Amino acid sequence: MLRPHKNCHQKMRARQIDYREWHHLFRQIPEELVESTRYYRHLNDAEWSKYLFPPSTHAVYGNRLLRKLKFDNSLASLRLWGFAMSEGERLYRARQSGYRVIAEMGDLGAVTPLVHSFPDTISFYPDCLWWTPFLMESHVLFNEAAEFGLGEDCCFVRAAIGGYSKRAYFPKPDLNIGVTGATCDDMAAVMSEIALSGDEIHWFELPHRSEDNFQYSKKFLAGEHKKLCNKMEELTGVKFSESRFNDVVDKVNRLRSLIKECKELTAADGLNPIGGIEMMNVEFSALSYYADLDECLSVIEDFRDMLKARVNAKEGYTGQDIKIIWVTPAADPILINYLEELGGRIAGSEYVINQVTSRIRKDCSPFEALAEAQLQGSLMGSSAFRAQLVLDEIERTKADGAIISGIFGSSHCPFETSIIIKAVREKGLPVLAFDTAQPGKVKLQSQIYNRMQAFMESIRISRSRYAG
């Protein structure tokens, strides 16, 4: 297995560097390593399957934000970036290689193990297109969504409908799975528009979770998984196989525990061992494994090893000593760099994907096991549940404060923001909440930066008072 972090290049001090420096450093990476870092390895080194490339490669193809971001300087991180950034092309290559491509929308990462247990089938998450307008610093997908009546009063996930309409971001899915029921209104609106525009959706109903009806919810959810399984059998013409499913679950559980380990290492005392954007890439691999579970495991394992080595060696970035919990993923990754620039580090997170964090049981029926894991979802129950997830993260990481990056106009996050703020303040910790500015809104963004600066200063002052 590839172990890029064991390369001589790794002897460099842990640092955050820009795309220009990566472009030049990249030349020092041995050719064999670039050649052997591939996805879909079973396709015998398909010419297009390499992915260990620097951010400048992706910048040339329009991902303009990469020219402004700071990246970790390890090979393991470069590999992670290359793997995540190549997902779009990978979906097309999967289709060209005869794979079925399944779209999972809404709070669904929980169904991915089931989908991947069918042969030659991969899945992806159209919702994740919400990062595209920010990475490209572009309004193309938002303008497209506006053609369907979804404007600034809808969450950034509206970019997903732009992807469906433009037909240039992923191949036509063999199956679209969408959630209904206890899900967010914004995503529900996006999915309805997709359905109305003619893309058939298999609806998967999420029950509302409450302590009183947990068993009922579980049974109901298990039934939804069974229905989806039937649909997959119909689509693929292949019977569901428990042994194939168990193989996938073993891998998924391994991935989830690797991610958990990475999160623990990130919160370790001492220097900040890694950038928050890299960690966000790691956490989101749990949704659909960037469309290649085996390679994803290898990428995250390398990343974990690199992190472990840094933490053991007490290595990390200097000057980032204020531990922050980030709540709701940052649609604009540069916000995370801002925090780091101001001396903060993301020690923990609540990225509304708790449904893909817990281990999937193997001692009960597959559908029940999936249902049980899914019922840990961040968004399918009370806001108090999610607020508690944030408090748990604070406790686990001994954080100094929390930042909530909301989305103007969206239905879910604003409602929960005030509840989370209250819960965190009751614990005596400061919270900063703001709405993420749309791409290109430079003035709004500078305001966010100023607010972050004041927030970080106030934490420092209260720290020094306390110390005094």
Residues 366-385 binding ligand SF4 (CB under 6 A) are 379
User: What interhelical angle do 214-236 and 366-374 show, nearest 10?
Assistant: 120
DSSP SS3 for 76:
helix
Task: Render 271-336 in DSSP notation, one character per residue.
Answer: SB-S-HHHHHHHHHHHHHGGG-HHHHHHHHHHHHHHHHHHHHTT--BTT--EEEEEES--SSTHHH
Residues in 50-69 at the binding interface with another protein, rule: CB under 8 A:
50, 53-54, 56-57, 59-62, 64, 67
Work out whether 26 is an interface residue with another protein (CB under 8 A).
Answer: yes
Q: How many residues contact another protein, by CB under 8 A?
A: 38
- Which residues inside 412-451 make contact with ligand SF4, applying CB under 6 A? 412-413
Of 105, 141, 157, 249, the one binding ligand SF4 (CB under 6 A) is 157
How many C-beta atoms lie closer than 10 Å to residue 72's C-beta?
26
Give CA–CA dist 264/166, Å, rounded: 40
Is 19 an interacting residue with respect to another protein (CB under 8 A)?
yes
User: Between vectors from CA 263 to CA 72 and to CA 358, what angle results, nearest 5°?
Assistant: 140
Residue 184 engages ligand SF4 in binding (rule: CB under 6 A): yes
Beta strands 71-72 and 16-17 are: antiparallel
Q: How far is the CB of 107 from ligand SF4 (least distance, A)?
A: 8
Count of Cβ atoms closer than 10 Å to residue 369 Cβ: 21
For the bound state, the minimum distance from the C-beta of residue 290 to another protein, rounded and expressed in Å, comes to 16
Cβ closest to ligand SF4, residue 72 vs residue 350:
350
Closer residue to another protein, CB minimum distance, 117 or 176: 176
Q: Which is nearer to another protein, 208 or 441 (CB)?
A: 441
Partner in contact with 379, chosen from ligand SF4, another protein, none, beta carbon below 5 to 8 Å by kind: ligand SF4
Contact between residue 349 and residue 280 where contact means Cβ atoms under 8 Å apart: yes
Helix (H, G, I), strand (E, B) or coil at 265: helix
131 vs 245 by CB, closer to ligand SF4: 131
Q: Tokens for 51? A: 């992915």
- Which residues 6+ apart lie within 8 Å of 112 measured at CB? 104, 123, 252, 287, 288, 289, 356
Among the listed residues 194, 407, 452, 459, the single contact to ligand SF4 using CB under 6 A: 407
Among ligand SF4, another protein, none, what binds residue 68 when CB lies within 5 to 8 Å by partner kind?
none
Minimal distance in Å, beta carbon 154 to another protein?
16
Q: Side chain identity at 428, as an amino acid letter? A: G
Q: With CB cut-offs between 5 and 8 Å by kind, which of ligand SF4, another protein, none does residue 64 bind?
A: another protein
CB of 143 to another protein, least distance (A): 9
Distance CA 55, CA 20 (A): 9
412 binds, among ligand SF4, another protein, none (CB under 5 to 8 A by kind): ligand SF4
Per CB under 8 A, which region of 18-26, 71-79, 224-232, 318-326 contacts another protein?
A: 18-26
